[in-house]
Amino acid sequence: PWPENVNPLTGEVVSDPSLLERVPVAIKISNWPGQYVRPQAGINSADLIYEHYNEGWFASRWTAVYLGKDPERVGPVRSGRLIDLHIPAIYKAVLACSGFSNGVLALVKDSDLYPDRVASPSVGVGQPVFYRDFSRDVPLEHTMFTNPALVRDWAAERGVSGRQELEGMVFSEEPQVEGEPATTIKIPWRSLAAEWRYDEASGRYLRWSDGLPHTDALDGQQLSAANVVVLYVPQWDTDIIEEPHGGALSIEFAIWYSNRAVIFRDGVHIDGFWQRWEREDMLTLTDEEGHPIPLKVGNTFFEVIPTEGLEIEIIVEP
């Protein structure tokens, strides 16, 4: 087990161990259209973020997991997707999102997340957990915000609180496995060109979106990650209608069993595998022999990439 003062999702020592005696919170965050949603708020405080395709295979959306830090504001908050049946199970988290399509809502209500680990207007949870910010001139769907403390207070009223069983992630200060140099990772989502560029001074990867530094609205700092992990996950259209106006179908993400992964840390990339065999299992990263591939101490950005149809590009600067 982890020492009481080490965050099991980042490997970081925290000055106040009581921060870890809490339930993680997973918040669904918009990433498109850029002119309405960027810069988002509270991203640099997340321990983990998952980025994945939305229905229609065009825009990406994020699920951010918070344990060690509590930003005062997170958002814009958007609706959950099928992958959000899994991320809260992996990290024993409470899910917060603006809603669900009817088909996804039915599956959520049939899952172990319901009713005490899912906060959303779709299941009757509104203010004060969620609130609107009308200070920017954007469409209504981009105005909802929350924060982890509001979600935790709601969950605690339902008896969901305290330290959760979060064994399985492995961290090291220095790479334990030899990797190949990797200074830039390009991910060409159809709606935006995402890039992670390694910054040698900080030893972290900085996020660029459509050629511009991608910042956090709370502190103005560029988004950065100690680790960027590309997860190759089988994905396919289901028969659930996610977007009634255009008829786009919900995408299923087979984030179970095992598949390829590429781990980026300290300016190198390491080929390996991700594994998750049971619903409540932590998602782990291993080499071919099954030995853990440690992440760098700090936050991680997971890029959930289809096993076909989306090619990432790894660039090595001389």
Q: What is the CATH number of the domain that holds 48?
A: 3.50.90.10
- Total residue count of the chain as it appears in this document: 318
Domain final residue pick, 157, 182, 215: 157
DSSP state letter for 54 = P
| Residue linked to tokens 């660039």 | 315
Q: Is the separation of the CB atoms in 214 and 223 below 8 Å?
A: yes
**Distance between CA atoms of residues 192 and 60, nearest Å:** 8
Look up the pTM and report it: 0.98
Which has the closest alpha carbon to 27: 105, 102, 79?
79
Domain final residue pick, 100, 123, 157: 157
| Residue linked to tokens 């099928």 | 82
Interval 11-56: pLDDT, tens: 999 999 999 999 999 999 999 999 999 999 999 999 999 999 999 9
88, 91, 96, 102 alpha-carbon torsion, rounded to 10°: -10
DSSP per residue, 149-161: HHHHHHHHHTT--
Give me the amino acid identity at 33. Answer: P
Give me the amino acid identity at 264. Answer: F
Within a 10 A sphere around the Cβ of 126, how many other Cβ atoms? 10
Residue 162 lies in a domain: no
Write down the pLDDT at residue 274: 99
> Could you give the number of structural domains in the chain?
2
Residue 6 lies in a domain: no
**Distance between CA atoms of residues 85 and 113, nearest Å:** 8
Task: Identify how many contiguous H helices and E strands the chain contains and give both numbers.
Answer: 4, 23
**Distance between CA atoms of residues 21 and 200, nearest Å:** 34
Which residues in the chain show pLDDT less than 50?
A: none
Domain final residue pick, 123, 157, 191: 157
Residue 172: beta bridge partners?
296
H-run or E-run covering 213: strand 212-213
H-run or E-run covering 108: helix 102-109
Same domain for 21 and 139, yes or no, is yes
**Distance between CA atoms of residues 288 and 38, nearest Å:** 39
Write down the pLDDT at residue 49: 99
DSSP state letter for 255 = -
Write down the pLDDT at residue 318: 76
Same domain for 23 and 112, yes or no, is yes
Same domain for 131 and 39, yes or no, is yes
Which has the closest alpha carbon to 24: 123, 165, 230?
165
Residue 227 lies in a domain: yes
**Distance between CA atoms of residues 20 and 11, nearest Å:** 12
SS3 61: strand
Same domain for 185 and 272, yes or no, is yes
Q: Is the separation of the CB atoms in 40 and 31 below 8 Å?
A: yes
| Residue 116 belongs to domain spanning | 17-157
Phi, psi (rounded to 5 degrees) for 170? -130, 135
Same domain for 254 and 207, yes or no, is yes
